[in-house]
Structure 1
Amino acid sequence: MQRRILVSVALAALLATSGCSGLLGGPVTFSASPATVNDNALNQTDYSLESIDNQTVSRNVSAAGETKEVEVTNVVANYHRTVDLGPLGEREAAVFTAFSSPQIDVLGQQFNPLENYNNHDLVMLLQSQYESVSDIQNVSSSERTVLGQQTVVSKYSAQATFEDGSSTDVYIVLTKVKHGDDYVVGVGVYPQQLDGEDQRISTLLGGLQHATNS
């Protein structure tokens, strides 16, 4: 399992391969606003910011006999916490990612592939894209408020393989919300042996912040 949450790249791949029919006119670009965790939540959980990256997906789309280039810029904020895994030693194995992706609005048509993906679809996308995450099983789901929106937070069990070939059982906690002009996905992955990590992830989700244009 890499330090960065692999689902961020999987989501970018989804946006790159999904259909974008009905686009006319000149070149179009769409950019998400960053979704990040506030300092108070980070201080409470001992998580640290690793990186904030832009992921630009570019593809040619054809409509009405024309081929146009469409660029969609997603923003990925990665956080981690160093934990003691006993025989496996200390590792940055508790990770959290906030992924924001823009709603596309062209000639009155609004769409984003994430709109039609529920939590189960997203976690299965993660498993299908990367061999380092396997055997995903649903554990529980609950409703809570994230970024002022009522949403379902889902918890899954899985096995994660580190870059050195060692592996451990993990939990994956995931949710998606529509906030302003963007979709925001929050994902936490942590070893099952850690006590209190579920509460830390809950605090990080509650500490999400995201600017809107609305």
Structure 2
Amino acid sequence: MTITRRAFLATGAAAGTATLAGCMDPLRETLSSSPATVSADARSEAGYDEHVVDEMVVDHPVGAFGLERTIEVVNWYAEYDRAISLEGLGLTRLQAAVFTVLSTPQVSVLGRTHNPIGEYSTDELVELIQERYDRLAVEEAVDEQAVTVLGTETPVTQYRGQARLVEIGRRLDVTLHVSEPVAHGEDFVLCVAVSPRLFDVDVESSSVRTLLEGIEHE
């Protein structure tokens, strides 16, 4: 039996114990986020296509006051891409610009808040875009801008990096955009974008802003 996250939070706060009424396994609970996606209008304006919208499930151990619990956290991720002409690099036009949105539930256990996003390493976040890029090496941060995401002014940091584009097996200079987590409803929403730098120019900055501003989440 799955208990809703609202019921789980209320039970944990009121009872202060590891026992969840009605749950077959008193030491395990499943929490689910709502999908965060990019609106059709924003995708059309930026020239991006939807590649996948899917679940990503992780086990999240938590503990307080000597009580241990493993929570199965059901996250959602949506990935979009756009073809970029790489003729200046002697290459063809490829789906080389990737934009990913991750939503993950806020978790509160026995009065303590646990942010699953904070448990992800950079490598784990990068895995969301590994279908296109491999061995992503993030270098220095080069810029930061504030973008309105889900009604909240949110810092988005831009990094230089290098990565191998899977389709051609060649390393390219890339730009990585990473937003800070946005608390919306009962979830956190995080965005990651990566695209080639052409002649040391970030050609996707405007499109990334359009996609960020077009995020929808129930």
Do the aligned residues in 2 keep the contact of 1:127 with 1:134 (CA within 8 Å)? Answer: no
Compute the displacement of 1:105 (Å): 2.0
Do the aligned residues in 2 keep the contact of 1:93 with 1:191 (CA within 8 Å)? Answer: yes
Compute the displacement of 1:113 (Å): 4.0
Query: Helix, strand or coil for the counterpart of 1:192?
Result: strand
Query: Helix, strand or coil for the counterpart of 2:18?
Result: coil
1:141 aligns to 2:144 (yes or no): yes
User: 1:171 matched to which residue of 2?
Assistant: 175
Do the aligned residues in 1 keep the contact of 2:144 with 2:158 (CA within 8 Å)? Answer: yes
Query: Helix, strand or coil for the counterpart of 2:43?
Result: helix
1:11-90 matches, cutoff 5 A: 24-25=18-19, 26=26, 27-58=28-59, 68-86=69-87, 87-90=90-93
Same amino acid, percent of matched pairs: 35
1:143-158 matches, cutoff 5 A: 143-158=146-161
Query: Helix, strand or coil for the counterpart of 1:203?
Result: helix
Aligned partner of 1:42: which letter? R
1:201 aligns to 2:205 (yes or no): no
| Higher RCO by CA contacts (8 Å cutoff, separation 6 or greater) | 1
After superposition, the Cα gap between the structure-2 partners of 1:110 and 1:195, relative to the gap in structure 1 and judged at 3 Å, is closer
Aligned partner of 2:41: which letter? N
- Bigger Cα Rg: 2
Aligned residues: 186
CA–CA separation in structure 2 for the residues paired with 1:89 and 1:168: 14
Query: Helix, strand or coil for the counterpart of 1:204?
Result: helix
Compute the displacement of 1:78 (Å): 0.4
TM-score, structure 1 length as denominator? 0.75
CA–CA separation in structure 2 for the residues paired with 1:205 and 1:29: 28
User: 2:7 matched to which residue of 1?
Assistant: none
CA–CA separation in structure 2 for the residues paired with 1:123 and 1:68: 25
1:96-107 matches, cutoff 5 A: 96-107=99-110
Aligned partner of 2:191: which letter? G
Gaps of 5+ in 2: 1-15, 20-25
Aligned partner of 2:74: which letter? T
Do the aligned residues in 1 keep the contact of 2:83 with 2:97 (CA within 8 Å)? Answer: yes
Q: Deviations over 1:129-176 (max 9, x none)?
A: 986111421111122321111211111111111224301111111102
CA–CA separation in structure 2 for the residues paired with 1:68 and 1:185: 25
Do the aligned residues in 1 keep the contact of 2:80 with 2:98 (CA within 8 Å)? Answer: yes
Compute the displacement of 1:71 (Å): 0.4
User: 1:9 matched to which residue of 2?
Assistant: none
Query: Helix, strand or coil for the counterpart of 1:24?
Result: coil
Compute the displacement of 1:60 (Å): 5.8
Q: Deviations over 1:58-114 (max 9, x none)?
A: 256666776644200110000001122122322211000000111012233322143
User: 2:185 matched to which residue of 1?
Assistant: 180
CA–CA separation in structure 2 for the residues paired with 1:172 and 1:148: 23
Compute the displacement of 1:48 (Å): 0.5
TM-score, structure 2 length as denominator? 0.74
After superposition, the Cα gap between the structure-2 partners of 1:62 and 1:116, relative to the gap in structure 1 and judged at 3 Å, is closer
